Chains A and B, each alone.
Chain A
Amino acid sequence: MSQTSGTAALVTNRSSWVTARSGKMSVWRRFRRHPGAIAGAIVLGLITLAVLLAPISPYDPETSDLAVRFQPPSWQHPMGTDALGRDLLTRVLYGGRISLLVGLLVVAISLAIGVPVGALAGFYGGRLDSILMRLTDMFLSLPAFLVLILLSAILREVDAPLIERNNVLTIGVVIGVLSWMTFARLVRAAFLTIREMDFVTAARCVGASNRRLIVTHILPNAIGPIIVEATLGLGYAIIEESGLSFLGFGIQPPTPSWGNLLSNAQEHLAKYPWLAIFPGLMIFLTIISANYIGDGLRDAFDPHKVLKKVGEV
Chain B
Amino acid sequence: MTAYLARRLLQTVALLFLLSIVLFALVNLAPGGPLAGHGQSRHVRPERAAILKRQFGLDKSLPLQYVIWLAGNDWMKVDADGDGVADSYGTRKGILRGDFGFSFRTREPALKEIGQRLPNTILLMAVTMSVAILIAIPIGIISALRQYSIYDIAVTTFSFAGQAIPEFWLGLILILVFYATLKSPFSGEPLLPAGGMYTLGIGFSLGDRIKHLILPVATGALGWIAWYSRFLRSSMLDVIHQDYLRTARAKGLPERTVIYRHALRNAIIPLVTLLALDLPYLIGGTVFVEMIFSWPGMGRLYYQSALQRDYPVLLAILIIGATAIILSNLLADVLYAYVDPRIRYD
Contacts and interface: CB of A to CB of B under 8 A. Distances in A.
The answer on direct contact between A and B (beta carbons under 8 Å) is yes
Interface of A: 1, 4-5, 7-9, 11-13, 36, 134, 137-138, 140-143, 145-147, 149-151, 153-154, 157, 235, 239, 242-243, 246-247, 262-263, 266, 269-270, 276, 280, 283-288, 291-292, 295, 298, 304-306, 308-313
Contact of A269 (B166, B176, B274): B176
Given A145-B287, A269-B176, A262 B306 contact: no
B27 A138 contact: no
A280 B325 contact: no
A7 B274 CA distance: 9
A246 B235 contact: no
Given A4-B274, A292-B160, A143 B318 contact: yes
A141 B237 CA distance: 31
B238 A13 contact: yes
Given A8-B273, A239-B166, A280-B166, A146 B148 contact: no
Contacts of A305: 237, 241
Interface string B236-277: 011001000000000000000000000000000010011001
B30 A150 contact: yes
B317 to A, nearest CB: 7
A7 B278 CA distance: 13
A266 B168 CA distance: 9
B73 interface: no
A295 B224 CA distance: 17
B322 A154 contact: no
Given A142-B19, A285-B164, A313-B147, 8 more contacts: A9-B234, A142-B325, A143-B317, A147-B318, A157-B31, A243-B166, A243-B287, A286-B164
Contacts of A304: 238, 241
Contacts of A153: 30-32, 306
Chain B binding surface SS class = helix
A247 B287 contact: yes
A309 B148 contact: yes
Given A247-B303, A309-B148, A310-B148, A5 B231 contact: yes
23 contacts: A1-B224, A4-B278, A8-B273, A12-B234, A12-B235, A13-B238, A36-B156, A36-B157, A137-B326, A141-B15, A141-B329, A143-B317, A147-B318, A151-B26, A153-B31, A153-B32, A243-B166, A276-B169, A280-B169, A287-B160, A288-B164, A304-B238, A306-B241
B288 interface: yes
Contact of B164 (A11, A269, A291): A291
B161 interface: yes
A149 B156 contact: no
Contacts of A286: 164
A153 B325 CA distance: 23
Interface residues of B, number: 61
Given A9-B234, A149-B306, A291-B160, A1 B270 contact: no
Contact of A137 (B15, B163, B284): B15
B26 A141 contact: no
Interface in B192-234: 223-224, 227, 231, 234
Contacts of B26: 147, 150-151, 154
A1 B278 contact: yes
A134 B11 contact: yes
Nearest to A137: B15
B258 to A, nearest CB: 17
Given A154-B30, A313-B148, A11 B169 contact: no
Contacts of A147: 23, 26, 318
B163 A287 contact: yes
B15 A4 contact: no
Contacts of B156: 36, 295
Contact of B161 (A1, A13, A284, A298): A284
A198 B27 CA distance: 50
A248 to B, nearest CB: 8
**A-B pairs with the 10 shortest C-beta distances?**
A287-B164, A143-B321, A157-B31, A291-B160, A153-B30, A288-B160, A141-B322, A8-B270, A141-B325, A154-B30
B262 to A, nearest CB: 15
A138 B15 contact: yes
B184 interface: no
B280 interface: yes
Given A246-B166, A291-B160, A266 B172 contact: yes
A302 to B, nearest CB: 9
Contacts of A313: 146-149
A251 to B, nearest CB: 14
A292 B270 CA distance: 23
Given A1-B227, A138-B15, A243-B288, A283 B325 contact: no
A143 B282 CA distance: 12
B287 to A, nearest CB: 7
